[in-house]
Chain A
Amino acid sequence: EADIYQTPRYLVIGTGKKITLECSQTMGHDKMYWYQQDPGMELHLIHYSYGVNSTEKGDLSSESTVSRIRTEHFPLTLESARPSHTSQYLCASSAGTTISLEQYFGPGTRLTVT
């Protein structure tokens, strides 16, 4: 079983609030990712990191930011939540080596912005 954790699991928050979604992994993986998933839709990459102090935006335009100060920790922050941010947010990590490309996902955070 993969050791990747996300908190909170569920969050209901009002418009304009600042929120941070937490993601931690204990596998020592260098590569970490944030995806957004809506019902019946494919996963969209919103941020990724290939190591400490390395972060990049993915293919989905996002008003969120991320940081990677420690290998095991990859939090995602929304400075001002809007109803359009309502979605499922999935964190993943990967060793990303030639023989181990697969990603391991956390349980997700279901965010509702009212």
Chain B
Amino acid sequence: DQQVKQNSPSLSVQEGRISILNCDYTNSMFDYFLWYKKYPAEGPTFLISISSIKDKNEDGRFTVFLNKSAKHLSLHIVPSQPGDSAVYFCAASDSGGSNYKLTFGKGTLLTVNP
């Protein structure tokens, strides 16, 4: 029973365009959401997070949108750069903000073409 789903295993975009990575969840108790980026042979790196009391959080080129009624969140990267090519993981927590226990999706491989 997968509680966090990233239905697109891969995504390919052109440099300079927008990348949109999607994530759906089923557990209505999730109240905190995060995105991590992972390069090969490295551990995941924290990108951006959002609390369930917000519907948008922005950090530079990265924006996360949360639609609680649809149990859906998305990560927008604008403009996309070749260095953004990596696996992106969506993660969620139901621990009242204690993000040491995260439920991860299986990841989406983003390829940004020059």
Q: Do A and B bind each other?
A: no
Show the binding face of B for A, using Cβ within 8 Å. Answer: none
